[in-house]
Structure 1
Amino acid sequence: MVIFDCDGVLVDGEYLSTCIMAQEARKYGWNITDEQANKLFTGGELAKIRDRIAHESGKTLPDDWDMQVQNRIVTMMKTDAQTVDGAEDMLKATLDLGLPVRIGSNSSMAEMDAKFSSTGLDQMLDEDRIHSGRDLNMPKPRPDLYLYAAEQDNIPPGNCIVLEDSDAGAEAARRAGMACVLLRDLSRPAPQWPGLIRIGHLSEFVPLLQRIRAKQKQAVA
């Protein structure tokens, strides 16, 4: 099985989302730039981001801050979401291989509905194969979300490969006992975990899957 993260892998919405979080941080007195927020908050869960802003600012945030920010993100994604370069071709090619595909993201279902519908990816993805760490209370870097996705198709974790772009997501895959491919510019730092595979562009992912499947067939033969 292939399990995809959403933001930064299929939809290029992470920076837009973290900019909203940076605006919130500045509103409460934490003078953080959009770039700093992107580095700190990418792949994170809103509850922990709320706690970090409260700690850094010394202010108490509203109890419904998470929902307020989520609603702002959903509204923005309905019009501003764009796919990551090569996402449509990569997703179609993965599906053409006949492999089961699921989505596992810390984004809420409402956010992903907005992102996938505005980009057209909803035409390629079945809603019942999309899973939200926020809505299921299984946020990464905990491994639960990825384990849950695999369980839906009764596929052992060792037979799953995850495509991620964040350290938190890669950590979730590692803790789940799944292979992980990290999509990140090769000039940027990344965890040095054994078995972590890095690619710099989505065009590299399907050829990688094809090589893995070829090796598996050779091993069986």
Structure 2
Amino acid sequence: MTQALALSPEGQLKLVIFDCDGVLVDSEQTCCRISAEEARAAGLTIPPDKAVEEFSGMALPEIQKDIEKKTGKSLGSDWADRVQKRFVEAMKQGVEPIDGVHAMLEGVKKLGLPVRVGSNSSTEEMDAKFIATDMTHYFTDRIHSARDMGIPKPRPDVYLHAAAQEGVDPANCVVLEDSNTGARAAVDAGMMCVLLRPGAEPVPEWPNLVRIHHLSEFVPLLQKALHNQGK
């Protein structure tokens, strides 16, 4: 029998796991811009306004494979590490929080739910982002990097690892994501995924996926689930 998921009245909501870029920190455009610059340097034609569309949610090893496949050139074994350093330096220069993120995090905290982060970014990069946006205190010792693990999304490993560290069953977790790559990882981990996607942008027709348009919708969603579960 399939276990009821975390937002179901029959389920148990025990852990909230956040992606980082595009959910907590507005760094995706910067990282995608740098990736596009690197792709153009390798010989690809990617206009700046297509950078996010091209690279959103992708880990650096996947971006490297994509560029190498399209150009037929090797970028070298140090390419991902070199670009990662560009990301970290860019984050230190300044990055913005996603609109409403501090109110949302305080709301989740008031519900008494533990939180963790699972991202394709490196731990070093996330540390820089959270310092710049005053979020470090929310996630002390609760940050998990798929890049550092060497198993990036869309593989579900980083989310399964986060749940295991909390001692919680994947079915009892809610993941907040913004990319299809990350949503795929959450769904394949057997978790409920809330996809933050503004405007009229389409969402995948996958099971266990709920859409919100703004972070202000997230806490009421969790609150309703907890109420329906008798908590």
* Fold-level similarity (TM above 0.5): yes
CA displacement at 1:188 relative to structure 2: 0.2
CA distance in 1, matches of 2:229, 2:199: 27
- 1:186–1:198 CA contact under 8 A, matched in 2: no
CA displacement at 1:58 relative to structure 2: 2.6
CA deviations 1:60-95 (Å, max 9, x no partner) are: 212100011000000000122110000111011111
- 2:187–2:207 CA contact under 8 A, matched in 1: no
**Counterpart selection for 2:178 from 151, 157, 165:** 165
- Listed as ranges, the matches of 1:119-138 within 5 Å are 119-126=133-140, 128-138=141-151
**Counterpart selection for 1:8 from 22, 27, 36:** 22
CA displacement at 1:217 relative to structure 2: 0.8
Provide the TM-score with structure 2 as the length reference.
0.91
Question: Does 1:190 pair with 2:203?
Answer: yes
CA distance in 2, matches of 1:35, 1:56: 19
- Listed as ranges, the matches of 1:10-25 within 5 Å are 10-25=24-39
Q: Secondary structure at the match of 2:147?
A: coil
- 1:8–1:14 CA contact under 8 A, matched in 2: yes
**Counterpart selection for 1:26 from 17, 40, 65:** 40
- Listed as ranges, the matches of 1:1-221 within 5 Å are 1-126=15-140, 128-217=141-230
Q: Secondary structure at the match of 1:103?
A: strand
- 1:186–1:199 CA contact under 8 A, matched in 2: no
CA displacement at 1:48 relative to structure 2: 1.2
Q: Which has the higher contact order (CA 8 A, sep 6+)?
A: 2
Provide the TM-score with structure 1 as the length reference.
0.95
CA displacement at 1:57 relative to structure 2: 2.1
CA deviations 1:93-144 (Å, max 9, x no partner) are: 1111110100000000011011001111113221x11000000123111111
Q: Secondary structure at the match of 1:217?
A: coil
Q: Secondary structure at the match of 2:24?
A: coil
CA displacement at 1:168 relative to structure 2: 0.8
CA distance in 1, matches of 2:69, 2:47: 17
Question: Structure 1 runs of 4+ off > 6 angstroms?
Answer: none
- 2:187–2:208 CA contact under 8 A, matched in 1: no
The percent identity for this pair of structures is 53
Which structure shows the bigger proportion of residues in helix conformation? 1
Q: Secondary structure at the match of 1:205?
A: helix
Equivalenced residues, count: 217
AA of the residue aligned to 2:165: Q
Q: Secondary structure at the match of 2:175?
A: strand
CA RMSD of aligned residues (A): 1.1
Q: Which runs of 5+ in 1 are unaligned?
A: none
